Amino acid sequence: MNPAADVYREAFARLRSTLPGSQLPWLLRLREAALASFVEAGFPTLRHEDWKYTSVAAIENADFQFEPDEVAIQPELIEAWNLPDTHRLVFVNGRYQPAASQIGPQPAGVMLASLANVLTQAPDAVQAMLGRSPEIS
């Protein structure tokens, strides 16, 4: 049995309705299947061939907390990195910050947005890609 299973099951149950795309039945099924797979398998260990040189103990023992999407950002820190004729995507702690980002015109068929926004605005654009297993050679 996976010792972390209860912690992650409880967190998912608590946050399920607040997750981006929570209203999409196909995405809920994918998330539930992923959680079930994790509950069964747990974190990889050094005994797993693909992970024999990588310990994930620090991740396994971390107490992750859900944080709000937007955080306070000092504009002067971002402005120093502006480059002419470019898009600027700002991430803080791995989370996209649209208020601090600058996205200019995009070619037809290109959508430059966070996955959360795409799940709200155009979920059909990613449905076929989410949940696919990578082809490993």
Examine the pLDDT at 20 and tell me if it is beyond 50.
yes
In Å, the largest CA–CA distance within the chain is: 54
Examine the pLDDT at 112 and tell me if it is beyond 90.
no
Could you tell me the two tokens for 132? Answer: 């696919």
Residue 137's pLDDT band, with cuts at 50, 70 and 90, is: very low
Which residues, 6+ apart, have CB-to-CB distance to 83 below 8 Å? Answer: none
Top-confidence residue, 76 or 70 = 76
- For 80-105, what is the mean pLDDT? 83
**pLDDT of 39-75, one tens digit each?**
998 899 999 999 999 999 898 888 877 665 566 778 7
CA distances from 118 to 62, 89, 112 (A): 29, 15, 9
Examine the pLDDT at 36 and tell me if it is beyond 80.
yes
Examine the pLDDT at 88 and tell me if it is beyond 80.
yes
Entry pTM:
0.75
